[in-house]
Chains A and B, each alone.
Chain A
Amino acid sequence: MDASLAISCRGVTKRFYYYQLRTTTLREVFIRSVTRRPISMRSELFTLTDFDLSVRRGDAVGLIGSNGSGKSTALRLIAGIYGPTAGTIETRGRVAAVLELGAGFHHELTGAENVAFYGAVLGMTRKGLQARFDEIVDFAGLEAFIDVPMKYYSSGMRARLAFAVNANLDPDVLLIDEVLAVGDAEFRQRCRERLQQLRRDGCTLLIVSHDLENVVDTCSRAVWLDKGAMRMEGPAEAVVDAYRLSAS
């Protein structure tokens, strides 16, 4: 990978199959083998094809497109959660991802315990985490709730904590999937500022969003995905305009 790049995807294809919806039971397999019908467990469900993306270090790129166009799949591939069916994906440095509301937090544990767990999962040392803990809690604005089990949190509070943890762990690459939509206006403003600051510190951002204004504000470039294929790539404003035009 070129030294100036933080993310490099080349010819990435990801196929999902039906059997992965867990509808196959042994009975079906048995019946099919008795009736000698072919076992067609692998009917195709969705494919992301020929996804090519190079993101320079410190750059911010927005991923836009309608629901089911493959934006989240692309993020999960880059985060290393899914393996690609074909192609290569390379990233540089610590990759943090805010992909799902709640980020795999355990609802029985308190916010503080979850932060400690999450930090360990991302490879933070105990010391490094301690140094950052107050910052995280302060950023999320959850001082009063940090010792309360997370099942009592609202979805907005969970999203706040998920973002706060990931954005405060010195990521080299930060992937964000639509989570900012849940926070209130004040928190969203704080997130935007934090993202700007991360960029100044050399962090690379890849953001999935339906908030097109936000994409234009935060990102210098954008990628438009349509039915699992790249439709357009270029300066954020131009791509967003083209996407708007096609949607109206």
Chain B
Amino acid sequence: MNARGTFLTRQSRAVQRLWRSKQLVASLVSRNLKVKYKRSVLGFVWTLVNPLLTLVVLVSVFSYVLRVPIEDYWAFLLSGYFVWNFLGQTITSGTNVLTEHGPLSRAVAFPPEAPILAAALSRLVEFTIEMCLVLAVLTIFHHGHVPASYLLLPWLVLLQLVMALGLTFPIAALSVFYHDVQHAVPLLLATLFYVTPVFYALSLVPESVRPIFLINPIAWLMTLYQAAVYYGELPTPTQFLTTTAIAVGLLVVGYGVFNRYARFLAEVV
């Protein structure tokens, strides 16, 4: 019963446990979406209205007031904004997802990572719809054709999910023990938005400080998305491999932290 053993055996045991509960995760995802869109006439429109309003503001400010020297600035913004939105919302959901599922986790035995995975996946369903709309709009009004770099997107989405989970797992576990995390995370995300190349390109950042910007793992992902979606270019192999390595590294470390607390979560929430 006790999850002892080396780091690797613990991790692989946890993955097996999670694989066995894939049906549970699927049910949680469909339950999340059902609850969210139930009793709301406009449904998914609300999910789009919020980012669209922000986008309108950002486009107005940065293409008419503080002019960012990027052609079709709206298209550039669209290429990364929903990715940022996904990451931000998934990480934020991590601060309360375990408490929210507290009654359920005290009634049935299931792996504690299931609700976190389900929260990320149900956001991913919404993100997929958003991204399809973005791609359609950019194909027609920006590229005029379908760029080959779109083919890279499934991999980028996977990287994005891995990165989101790597950040959300430890935050979810820690916020059960330290309520401070719930207050700190939205604050940190709000700050992070300005130092992440979402509404500007990394190439506009002076080269001397660029390495500092690249400490932020999300900056790497953003650059990939902007290359594939806005520029219609393939990213360099270095960019591609580094981002993959960063995402996997985040998940291994983040999941490791989570696993240290996993055994106690049911009795604490």
Q: Measuring CB to CB, which residues of chain A are less than 8 angstroms from any residue of chain B?
A: 16, 19-20, 22, 24-27, 76, 79-84, 88-89, 95, 97, 99-100, 102-104, 106, 108-109, 113, 116-118, 120-123
Closest to B27 in A: A120
> Is B103 a contact partner of A102 (Cβ separation < 8 A)?
yes
> Is B34 a contact partner of A113 (Cβ separation < 8 A)?
yes
Q: Does B23 make an interface contact (CB < 8 A)?
A: yes
0 or 1 for each of B176-208: is its CB under 8 Å from A? (1 = yes): 111110000000000000000000000000000
- What B residues does A83 contact at CB under 8 A? 1-3, 263
In the complex, how many angstroms separate the beta carbon of B140 from the nearest chain A beta carbon? Answer: 38
Instruction: With A26-B178, A83-B1, A120-B23 as known contacts, state yes or no: A103 contacts B108, CB within 8 Å.
Output: yes
Alpha-carbon distance A125/B100, docked complex (angstroms)? 26
A-B pairs with beta carbons under 8 Å apart, 6 shown: A24-B177, A79-B109, A100-B107, A102-B103, A120-B27, A121-B104
- What B residues does A100 contact at CB under 8 A? 103, 106-107
In the complex, how many angstroms separate the beta carbon of B4 from the nearest chain A beta carbon? Answer: 11
> Is A16 a contact partner of B107 (Cβ separation < 8 A)?
no
> Is B268 a contact partner of A81 (Cβ separation < 8 A)?
no
- What B residues does A20 contact at CB under 8 A? 264, 267-268
Alpha-carbon distance A28/B38, docked complex (angstroms)? 42
> Is B35 a contact partner of A16 (Cβ separation < 8 A)?
no
Q: Name the contact of B108 in the complex, choosing from A88, A116, A121 (C-beta under 8 A).
A: A121
Alpha-carbon distance A97/B264, docked complex (angstroms)? 20
> Is B1 a contact partner of A123 (Cβ separation < 8 A)?
no
- What A residues does B38 contact at CB under 8 A? 108-109
Instruction: With A22-B176, A22-B177, A113-B34 as known contacts, state yes or no: A120 contacts B105, CB within 8 Å.
Output: no
- What A residues does B110 contact at CB under 8 A? 121
> Is B107 a contact partner of A99 (Cβ separation < 8 A)?
yes
Alpha-carbon distance A106/B263, docked complex (angstroms)? 24
> Is A106 a contact partner of B178 (Cβ separation < 8 A)?
no
In the complex, how many angstroms separate the beta carbon of A46 from the nearest chain B beta carbon? Answer: 11
- What B residues does A24 contact at CB under 8 A? 177-178
Q: Name the contact of A82 in the complex, choosing from B104, B108, B266 (C-beta under 8 A).
A: B266
Interface residue count on the B side (C-beta < 8 Å):
31
- What B residues does A82 contact at CB under 8 A? 266-267
Q: Does B24 make an interface contact (CB < 8 A)?
A: yes
The A-contacting residues of B in range 248-269, CB under 8 angstroms, are: 263-264, 266-268
Q: Does B210 make an interface contact (CB < 8 A)?
A: no
In the complex, how many angstroms separate the beta carbon of A71 from the nearest chain B beta carbon? Answer: 15
- What B residues does A122 contact at CB under 8 A? 108
Q: Does B67 make an interface contact (CB < 8 A)?
A: no
Alpha-carbon distance A76/B267, docked complex (angstroms)? 10
- What B residues does A80 contact at CB under 8 A? 109
> Is A106 a contact partner of B35 (Cβ separation < 8 A)?
yes
Q: Does B31 make an interface contact (CB < 8 A)?
A: yes
Other 10 A-B pairs with CB < 8 A, given A113-B34, A121-B108: A22-B179, A24-B178, A81-B105, A81-B106, A89-B1, A108-B35, A108-B38, A109-B31, A117-B31, A120-B24
- What B residues does A102 contact at CB under 8 A? 103, 107
Alpha-carbon distance A95/B110, docked complex (angstroms)? 12
- What A residues does B105 contact at CB under 8 A? 81, 104
> Is A88 a contact partner of B1 (Cβ separation < 8 A)?
yes
> Is A97 a contact partner of B179 (Cβ separation < 8 A)?
no
In the complex, how many angstroms separate the beta carbon of B113 from the nearest chain A beta carbon? Answer: 15
Alpha-carbon distance A83/B106, docked complex (angstroms)? 12
Most interface-central of A25, A83, A100 (chain B CB within 10 A): A83
Q: Name the contact of A99 in the complex, choosing from B106, B177, B267 (C-beta under 8 A).
A: B106
Closest to A119 in B: B27
In the complex, how many angstroms separate the beta carbon of B206 from the nearest chain A beta carbon? Answer: 35
Alpha-carbon distance A102/B107, docked complex (angstroms)? 9
> Is A25 a contact partner of B179 (Cβ separation < 8 A)?
yes
Most interface-central of A22, A97, A118 (chain B CB within 10 A): A22
> Is A121 a contact partner of B268 (Cβ separation < 8 A)?
no
In the complex, how many angstroms separate the beta carbon of B103 from the nearest chain A beta carbon? Answer: 5
> Is A25 a contact partner of B34 (Cβ separation < 8 A)?
no
0 or 1 for each of B92-113: is its CB under 8 Å from A? (1 = yes): 0000000001011111111000
Instruction: With A102-B103, A104-B105, A104-B107 as known contacts, state yes or no: A109 contacts B266, CB within 8 Å.
Output: no
Those 6 A-B pairs whose CB atoms lie nearest each other, nearest first:
A104-B104, A80-B109, A104-B107, A120-B27, A103-B107, A26-B180
Alpha-carbon distance A24/B180, docked complex (angstroms)? 10
